[in-house]
Structure 1
Amino acid sequence: METGADKLTLADINEEGANLVALQTRQQLALQALSFAGQNERAVLSLF
């Protein structure tokens, strides 16, 4: 029973770790998208 509880605890920690990595990845992608949008906007404005 104790071993099973330990495995469940470890599984929860692993899941939370994976959730954190996924969140960080989404944040990095969002920042990159904003950067690209800003670069495109500057490029369009430079045409005028």
Structure 2
Amino acid sequence: WDGTTETEIKIKEETKATIRCIPFDAPDEEGVCMVTGKPSHRRVIFALAY
């Protein structure tokens, strides 16, 4: 996730999933957002809420 509210909203609209966990104790890691292709610096866990 690239960390933007816009991307979070887009994921929610397209999949109904929302961020469920942001592991604060995990070290930052370089990656690429699976939605936008922009650089990302942390992993988050998206899931559906029932």
| Range class of TM-score, shorter chain | under 0.3
Q: Which has the higher contact order (CA 8 A, sep 6+)?
A: 2
TM-score by length of 1: 0.26
Question: Scaled by the length of structure 2, what TM-score is found?
Answer: 0.25
Larger Rg: 1
The structure carrying a bigger helix percent of its residues is: 1
